[in-house]
Amino acid sequence: MVWEKRMPERPIVAVAGVTGAVGREMLAVLEQRTFPAASVKALASSRSAGKTVSFAGGELVVEEMTEKSFEGVDIALFSAGAEVSRQFRDAVTSAGCVMIDNSSAFRMDDDVPLVVPEVNPGDLDWHAGVIANPNCSTIQMVVVLDVLRSLAPISRVVVSTYQAASGAGQAAMDELYDQTADFLAGRGLAPEAFAHRIAFNCIPQIDVFLEDGSTKEEWKMVVETKKIMHAPEISIAATCIRVPVLRCHSEALAVEFTAPVGVEAARAALASAVGVTVLDDPAARAYPMPASLEGSDDCYVGRIRADASVPHGLQLWVVADQLRKGAALNAVQIAEGLLGR
Domains of the chain and any CATH numbers:
12-133+327-338 (3.40.50.720), 138-322 (3.30.360.10)
pLDDT digits (tens, 9 = 90+) for 151-165: 999 999 999 999 999
Q: Which of 127, 248, 249, 299 is catalytic?
A: 249
Torsions phi, psi for 189 (to 5 deg): -115, 140
Whether 248 is catalytic: no
Cβ neighbors of 33 (< 8 A, separation 6 or more) are 332, 336
Candidates 168, 177, 162, 160; CA nearest to 195 is: 168
For residue 318, the model assigns a pLDDT of 98
For residue 223, the model assigns a pLDDT of 98
Rg of the chain in Å (alpha carbons) = 20
pLDDT digits (tens, 9 = 90+) for 239-292: 999 999 999 999 999 999 999 999 999 999 999 999 999 999 999 999 999 999
Q: Which residue type occupies 284?
A: A
For residue 340, the model assigns a pLDDT of 79
Whether 97 is catalytic: no
For residue 69, the model assigns a pLDDT of 98
What pTM value is reported for the model? 0.96
Q: Average pLDDT of each block of 10 consecutive residues along the chain (341 residues)?
A: 91 97 96 98 96 96 98 98 97 98 97 98 97 98 98 98 95 96 96 96 98 98 98 98 97 98 98 98 98 97 98 98 97 96 82
Cβ neighbors of 327 (< 8 A, separation 6 or more) are 22, 25, 26, 79, 102, 133, 136
CA–CA separation, 320 vs 164, rounded Å? 10
Q: Which of 136, 240, 248, 299 is catalytic?
A: 136
